[in-house]
Structure 1
Amino acid sequence: MFDLRPYQKKQKILADWIPWGVMLDEQTIVNKDGSYMTVIEFKGPDGGSETASMLTNFREQFNNIFQRFGDRWCVQVEANRHAYKPEIHPMPKDAPRAAKYIEEDRLGMFGNGQYFITSCYLILTYLPPEDSHRKVADLFIEYPEGQERPNPQYPPFATYQKVIGETVSLLGGVVKEVNVLKNEDLLSFLHSTVSSRTHRVAVPDCPIDIAEKMTDSPLDIGLGLRLGGHHVSMIGVRNWVNVTEPNMLDSLFMLPFEFRWCIRFLPMSRQMAHSHVTKLKRHWFSKRKNLFTLMKEMASKEESQLEDPDARVKADDADHALAMIGSDDASFGYTTMSFCVWDVTSEAAESKANVLREATDRSGWITQIESTNAFEAWLGTIPGHAYANVRRPITSSHNFCDVSPLMHQCAGERWCDHLNAPALMQCATGASTTPYWLNIFPCGTDVGHTMIAGPTGAGKSTLLNLMAAQWMRYEGAQVYIFDKGGSARVMTYAMNGQFYDLGEKESALQLQPLRELDSKLDRTRAFQWVIDVLTRENVPLSVSDKEHILEKIDQLSSRPQDERTISLLIAYLQFPHLKQGLYNYSSEGAYGHLFDGDCDPLGSNRWQAFELEGVYRMGLALPGVLSYLFNRLEDRFASARDVDAGVDKNGSPITKPTLLILDEAWLFIDNDMFRGQIRDWLKTLRKRNVAVVFATQSLADIEASPIAATILESCQTRILLPNPTAAEKHMRRLYEELLGLNVEEMDKLSVAVAKHNYYVISDVGRRMVSLSLSKKQLEFVGASQPARQRMAEDIFGDHPDDFFEYYLEAVKRERALEVAEEEAKNSMFKKGA
């Protein structure tokens, strides 16, 4: 006979173990046991830069949320760390080749599988009371005449919705972002917890049997687990630390692989918790003294001082717990914490599990890699599963908050809402493997002004060069740099820009301050420029002198533009003391090579850099140069309307995004006239889509400046460089009073690595980041050495239009030569040995 029993027997499949039943609405799952489940994605506060007191304050705020849940609730928190896949946003077609070269290299670095991002979720599950409870309650409730009895089918769900709404509202007051998962987002998250394939999941037309639809990967159960094509290792907590602290497991987010960190809290009612803790107290109190000690006390009628110290401590701990229950300081329940790692081979999965286990054990925990209990432990991590792998030690909601992944590593903002484009650039969060997006227009603001402060040699020039190069990702981008020391020379040549060394007589930049005289505003500017020059030359000016100067400027305006020179103005002037005062600025004077030009030196190039070190040594010439350049840049900003870009969402013409870098900003804030210009720019240039990057070596310069308040108020993004003296008393005052840093942050700055770490402060959060620069990128953004600048000048002199290609070739030859020399040295060393 043919045996049909093997075919008639129902085989248990993975979906049978998963609790999800029906999708009741866009954000609620009804589980198979009748419970309701909602998933909330959140980004908690960044605990990495907070003091212990601030972390405790955050813990208390979370505790106030979680202790509200009673014994029919299941609270789960999951941190899902997954590989980062960078979104590719091509640079504009007209972007310089060097900018594309740097961007491609950075995309390759961040897309190599070595960077990970973490998403945190709060899963709330509520099991309504049985119908028998409701029927008993109805016996004691009378409803007024005319008032309908509530529909018995929906009161539990209405109560559940109300609690969810209150929780989201309370959570929004603590965390940075909170979002209730709905539709595809909800199903995609659930699918990611039970499948080895992560992808978007569409909402089915008939959203029932959710568990059946989500489980697309087979699960093999044995001493280990295999989910689809991945071997899964589970790490469980066997013994808790004696004392928990807020954010105590934050170091796990530095691990360089994917994992799920799941913690579940099954709260008790107040009465149940009191009963359980009282039993524990009695148990440990009775353990203080053994039978022999008790008999001795009875015989001597004297109390013995001999006690078991461990039992005494645990009895006192239970006493403290009873006090917390009585005062409603915390709730109590069963807490289960598990970790899930996976890989395509069992050896790789076990290796990851060992690394994670060691990282956890360093905090004082006792963990183990699950074997026979692996499947039960895995089920305990499934959202909405309140029954598997329940660990019985009673813990408080304070403990639950301390060990849950509620804090978040600030990762910046991926998207710049103001420019409707990606953030300026990607970095890495300090020593960890989490990417960071630097957006200098944080939280949708239109203010991109940025302050960079730190000692010399700490990496300021490298950061400025990288920011400028990455700025070219924006359509129509413009960059203007006031440089000192030539650190922007190589980058400017590579970007097909114009680099003007104002201190050199052979410089291509010969200014013509009197060229623009056609409008009344132009003539007023020219008049003020001449008056400022004469004032610095200590020429006494009377009212008649000023009238005479203005008259001659009006006369000069009738001449062709190429004739409106300083020399011609001197020829027009009739007063000898005025002629003598302007002599140094004529072609025969000391500064004539700078100021007595007959053409417009500033072309239409979108990238221009002005080297000020040479002209700074000239003393009186510097204000004249800066005044002229500031006026010309004002004109460039005002005419930077991008006609092809149309209008923005408010109907205003779109202005080309412009980055204005003021390196060594003390040059500007030391001068009364330029202080006013900087103050005006910081307040008004945002309207012209200009972001001012204000870089300085000394915080003391800012503190002493009359415009310190304007600088600090306008620069919403601040980047601080490593400073070994940051922890010293005199520097602590500056960091604390000017920038609001706490002790933890100042200590971090004092031990940070120069030219590697940068501390970013913005409305988004605070985080120590690194630029993650490769050798290829450093050949451009870090090429500030005098020898490299001389090489670049030689190449640019021979190949101004193809500098990038020839420079890259020269760098490759230099590298090859260095490698050959190193090999030769090693060969000689081996022979000598």
Structure 2
Amino acid sequence: MLNIQEFRKKVRALPDLLNIAFMVGQYDFVKGPYAIALQKDGSLLSGFRFSGPDLESMSVNNINALSGTLNAALARLGSGWSVHITSIRYPANGYIPVEDCHFPDPVSQLIDDERRGQYERESAHYLSEYYCTIAWQTPPDAETGMSSAIVTRPHRKKGQSKGMGFESIIGKYRQTFENILSMFSSRCKVVPLDERNLLTHLHECLTGDRHPVNPPHVPAYLDMLIGHHDFVAGLEPQLDGRHIRVVTFIGYPQDGFPEILEGLSSLPFPLRYTTRFILLDPADALPLIDKYRKAWFGARHTLGSQIGAQFTGEASTSTSEDTEAVRLAFDAQQAKADASSGMVRFGYFTATVVLRDADEKVLLDRVKSVESYLNNLGFVAKVETTNAVEAFLGSIPGHTWENVRRPLMHSANFVDLSPKTSVWAGSERCPSPLMKQSENLAPALFYAATSGSTPYRFNLHVGDVGHALIVGPTGAGKSTLLALMAAQWRRYKGARVIGFDKGRSMYALCEAVGGAHYDIAGELSDLTFAPLAGINKSQAERVFAEEWLEAACELQGMTIRPRERDVIHTAIEGLSQEEGRSLTDVRSLLQDEQIKAAIGFYTGMGRTGTLLDARTDTLSMDNRFTIFEMEHLLTGTDQAKLTTGPVLLYIFHRIEQMLDGSPTLIPLDEGWLMLDNPQFLAKLAEWLVTLRKKNAAVVFATTSLSHLAKSPLLPILKESCPTKIFLPNAEATSQDLLPMYRDMGLNDRQVELLQTATPKSDYYVFTPDGHRRINLAMGPIALAFCGVSDPRDVKRIAELKESYGQQWPVAWLRERLPANRQDWVEYAKRMFEM
């Protein structure tokens, strides 16, 4: 006979253990929409993802301000409220996908292959994300009102009691949640969790799987949606074949400090660290605190000393008191005062670290690492066994009944023990929509190393602005960074690099990738410019020519008034009909002796020779990697400024003409300082806007912070360059330089990082998106092309180029690479033969 009773047993499954029930709705907020979920115990739940500042970059005052703000946010809550703050450490994606790289030459491809190999040979890389979820246990009188969210009663009479009322319940919750969200956003970057992201977060906390979970059309039975997994309970629970271990804190160090557990976000394996705080109103907390106070106060004397005092008739002396009990009684008394002040809230605190892996041996090794880390900090850590399932469930956002640790703690300590700072890893994708490749955003410019096992993805762009400023002393690695940027920029489809170099730092790279290298005003250079050659082609060219002549005259000390403009205009109009259109030609048409003298400086009869006095350009902008060597042009001081300004004005005009929306990088090494003249300020600001719209990124670099601080260009650069990169500087904290760094936006802690950083290795990236000290981790191949500027090396490259032609980089690597890296030479040879 069939035993049907067996099939009617009420067996509990994983969904039965979960608290989530259904979605109430999604609500708009200035930071983005957020969802509110109703749970089985009648509580409401919402959350947000946040990214705190970089701890390494924070001063003590910054840390205290962050903790104070978050504590003030929680102090608004009381009984019925609970908070989960969660740090999820997960494996980072691999190196930039090959299909996203479009290197057009063997050398730039070779440099990236070396960096790819370095990244993949390193230990696994991990990233961390941070979440805060807030639950409110609605009061009992709200139950009838909450039922209206589930059941509609069309025949309810107007004015009939609805308990507290659904709208008022949701309104109260929304107001409190949005206030906390606003306070968090004053110190951290926050993204509210909409329905999809809230479910995704709960599912990830439960399973460890990182994939989106879409809400159903009817947003009910959500426990089934996220809980449809095989779960084995017991002392050593498993979920979907992966072993789970939960490490709970049962003891705390005597002295704590903010971010004491920040190191959990640097461990080289996946984990989830969750802190939960079940808040209490002062009226509820004070009796509990007083109970502790009385207990410890009564424990000051041992039973023996109290009996002895009864027999002798003498009160126990202070010397016979238990000093630890006295201290704890005093702490409890102070806690009463803190609770009464309203500056903090007391509640029940639980902290857990959840680890999981299919390989139990690997998992146990990780558990030991976490235990060791916590114990070394003075915590007492316990690996849960009989309480494992309850501890695991209690770590899931919205679960407040399981694994409640009874000792009270106040909100300031909860904030100190919760994850709230982050290691900024940069963006995996370039944020500029102008850099899109097909339908996807372009990849990051390059990967670098940072602390722990967290990778760093470097982007020049903040939004669609790619302009950047590099500041640091001579010999700190500025030129190497510029060269690496140029080499890695080649990964973008149709990329173009137009660089302004000083000291041939980019000569090796330019020649290796088949670029065009122009040594302006060099002894062997035949480069000449014809700034007026195109005036017969368009009105726009004639306007440029007039403005260029006016700027040249101003550099000679002239004041350009309407009369002088008319003279220049007449000459340009007349010259546009002539065959010859050089400066000498226009000089003969100028009807003003002072203007003639000023322009004469730039003609073949003047100090600049024929550099600017050609009738046709020898400059070609067809090559997609073009470098202008400026060192010879910058020789001298006053002469350099008089010449460099007009040269750069003309080259920038040529650049503007050929920009077509292709990704264009324009590194300016030192030569831009010659533009720090008042008459160029408006033009430079205009250029930066125009170049941004045409997908060009200008990178300014200087070794003189003092020069920059006095330059009229500084306000424009600070405003136009959201990305700033500071190089190591042993004198950064000196009385002369410290105010300059502060003016650039750095705090004292960040300046200290520059002082202790390693030259030619460390770089400090400072953007509105985040701050981080990084290491370029350049291998010998990258250094062979990006770290070369010695005159002997430049001469050797020229010799190899003469002997081997386009394959000279293979011979160069054979000479530069150590014996254990010679296999790269054969690999490079094959690449050139393809």
Q: TM-score range by the shorter chain?
A: 0.7 to 0.9
Task: Say whether 1:602 aligns with 2:619.
Answer: yes
Name 2:41's counterpart in structure 1.
Answer: 33
Question: Larger deviation: 490-499 or 234-243?
Answer: 490-499
Selected match of 1:192 from 176, 186, 204? 204
Name 2:469's counterpart in structure 1.
Answer: 451
Aligned pairs for 1:450-469 (under 5 A) are: 450-469=468-487
Name 1:138's counterpart in structure 2.
Answer: none
Task: Say whether 1:811 aligns with 2:813.
Answer: yes
Q: CA RMSD in A?
A: 4.2
Deviations 1:54-76 (A, max 9, x none): 22222121112223333222211
Post-superposition shift, 1:749? 1.4
**Matched residues in 1 for 2:683 and 2:567: separation?**
27
CA contact (8 A) 2:677 2:712 kept: no
Alignment-mate amino acid for residue 128 of structure 1: T
Deviations 1:271-327 (A, max 9, x none): 221011001111111222334544666646567232322112211111111111111
**Matched residues in 2 for 1:393 and 1:552: separation?**
89
CA contact (8 A) 1:429 1:436 kept: yes
**Matched residues in 2 for 1:683 and 1:767: separation?**
27
**Matched residues in 1 for 2:44 and 2:679: separation?**
67
* Closer, same or farther: CA 202–76 of 1 in aligned 2, 3 Å: same
SS of the counterpart of 1:120? strand
CA contact (8 A) 2:552 2:598 kept: no
Name 2:701's counterpart in structure 1.
Answer: 695
Alignment-mate amino acid for residue 406 of structure 1: K
CA contact (8 A) 1:98 1:495 kept: yes
CA contact (8 A) 2:663 2:696 kept: yes
Task: Say whether 1:399 aligns with 2:413.
Answer: yes
Post-superposition shift, 1:782? 3.1
Name 1:370's counterpart in structure 2.
Answer: 384
Post-superposition shift, 1:397? 0.9
Question: Larger deviation: 427-436 or 389-398?
Answer: 427-436
CA contact (8 A) 1:196 1:229 kept: no
Deviations 1:2-37 (A, max 9, x none): 877766655443333332333444533333333332
Post-superposition shift, 1:262? 0.8
**Matched residues in 2 for 1:674 and 1:157: separation?**
58
Task: Say whether 1:180 aligns with 2:193.
Answer: yes
**Matched residues in 1 for 2:244 and 2:796: separation?**
55
Task: Say whether 1:720 aligns with 2:726.
Answer: yes
**Matched residues in 1 for 2:221 and 2:56: separation?**
42
Alignment-mate amino acid for residue 452 of structure 1: I
Selected match of 1:271 from 283, 287, 290? 283
Alignment-mate amino acid for residue 483 of structure 2: N
Name 1:352's counterpart in structure 2.
Answer: 366
Post-superposition shift, 1:405? 1.1
Post-superposition shift, 1:630? 1.9
Post-superposition shift, 1:762? 1.9
Task: Say whether 1:416 aligns with 2:416.
Answer: no
Question: Larger deviation: 89-98 or 393-402?
Answer: 89-98
Deviations 1:510-556 (A, max 9, x none): 334554454643553565587579x59xx9x9xx9999999988876
Name 2:634's counterpart in structure 1.
Answer: 616
CA contact (8 A) 1:411 1:434 kept: yes
CA contact (8 A) 1:716 1:763 kept: yes
**Matched residues in 2 for 1:663 and 1:461: separation?**
8
Question: Larger deviation: 304-313 or 395-404?
Answer: 304-313
Name 2:831's counterpart in structure 1.
Answer: none
SS of the counterpart of 2:348? strand
* Closer, same or farther: CA 743–589 of 1 in aligned 2, 3 Å: closer
Aligned pairs for 1:198-347 (under 5 A) are: 198-294=210-306, 299=312, 304-306=317-319, 307-347=321-361
* Closer, same or farther: CA 161–108 of 1 in aligned 2, 3 Å: farther
Name 1:484's counterpart in structure 2.
Answer: 502
Post-superposition shift, 1:360? 2.9
**Matched residues in 2 for 1:41 and 1:531: separation?**
57
Task: Say whether 1:82 aligns with 2:90.
Answer: yes
Name 1:709's counterpart in structure 2.
Answer: 715
Post-superposition shift, 1:239? 0.5
Deviations 1:798-831 (A, max 9, x none): 677xx4x65256425753657689xxxxxxxxxx
**Matched residues in 1 for 2:164 and 2:586: separation?**
95
Name 2:666's counterpart in structure 1.
Answer: 660
**Matched residues in 2 for 1:96 and 1:632: separation?**
29
**Matched residues in 2 for 1:3 and 1:571: separation?**
114
Selected match of 1:68 from 66, 69, 76? 76
CA contact (8 A) 2:548 2:646 kept: no
**Matched residues in 2 for 1:681 and 1:204: separation?**
51
Deviations 1:399-424 (A, max 9, x none): 11111112233334444245254465
Question: Larger deviation: 257-266 or 407-416?
Answer: 407-416
**Matched residues in 2 for 1:29 and 1:551: separation?**
75
Deviations 1:34-60 (A, max 9, x none): 333223222234443222222222212
Name 1:22's counterpart in structure 2.
Answer: 22
**Matched residues in 2 for 1:175 and 1:417: separation?**
23
SS of the counterpart of 1:338? strand
Normalized against structure 2, the TM-score is what?
0.82
CA contact (8 A) 1:430 1:757 kept: no
**Matched residues in 2 for 1:528 and 1:50: separation?**
49
Selected match of 2:450 from 430, 455, 465? 430
CA contact (8 A) 2:105 2:513 kept: yes
Alignment-mate amino acid for residue 739 of structure 2: R
**Matched residues in 1 for 2:405 and 2:194: separation?**
28
Task: Say whether 1:381 aligns with 2:395.
Answer: yes
**Matched residues in 1 for 2:283 and 2:45: separation?**
25
* Closer, same or farther: CA 117–808 of 1 in aligned 2, 3 Å: farther
Post-superposition shift, 1:697? 1.1
**Matched residues in 2 for 1:477 and 1:454: separation?**
27
Post-superposition shift, 1:598? 5.0
Name 1:651's counterpart in structure 2.
Answer: none
Deviations 1:748-802 (A, max 9, x none): 11112222221122222322223344444444333444454344434555677xx
Deviations 1:556-587 (A, max 9, x none): 65543xx5557778999999999999999777
Unaligned runs of 5+ in 2: 27-34, 146-156, 824-834
CA contact (8 A) 1:98 1:494 kept: yes
CA contact (8 A) 2:656 2:691 kept: no
Alignment-mate amino acid for residue 21 of structure 1: A
Post-superposition shift, 1:500? 0.9
**Matched residues in 2 for 1:313 and 1:478: separation?**
70
Post-superposition shift, 1:395? 0.5
**Matched residues in 2 for 1:130 and 1:552: separation?**
89
Task: Say whether 1:48 aligns with 2:66.
Answer: no
* Closer, same or farther: CA 367–784 of 1 in aligned 2, 3 Å: farther
**Matched residues in 1 for 2:582 and 2:18: separation?**
84
SS of the counterpart of 1:639? helix
SS of the counterpart of 1:359? helix
Aligned length: 787
Post-superposition shift, 1:226? 3.0
CA contact (8 A) 1:116 1:258 kept: yes
Post-superposition shift, 1:266? 1.3
Alignment-mate amino acid for residue 481 of structure 2: L
**Matched residues in 2 for 1:817 and 1:133: separation?**
77
Normalized against structure 1, the TM-score is what?
0.82
CA contact (8 A) 2:78 2:280 kept: yes
Question: Larger deviation: 517-526 or 753-762?
Answer: 517-526
SS of the counterpart of 2:633? helix
* Closer, same or farther: CA 696–9 of 1 in aligned 2, 3 Å: same
Name 2:148's counterpart in structure 1.
Answer: none
Selected match of 1:751 from 756, 778, 794? 756
CA contact (8 A) 2:432 2:465 kept: no
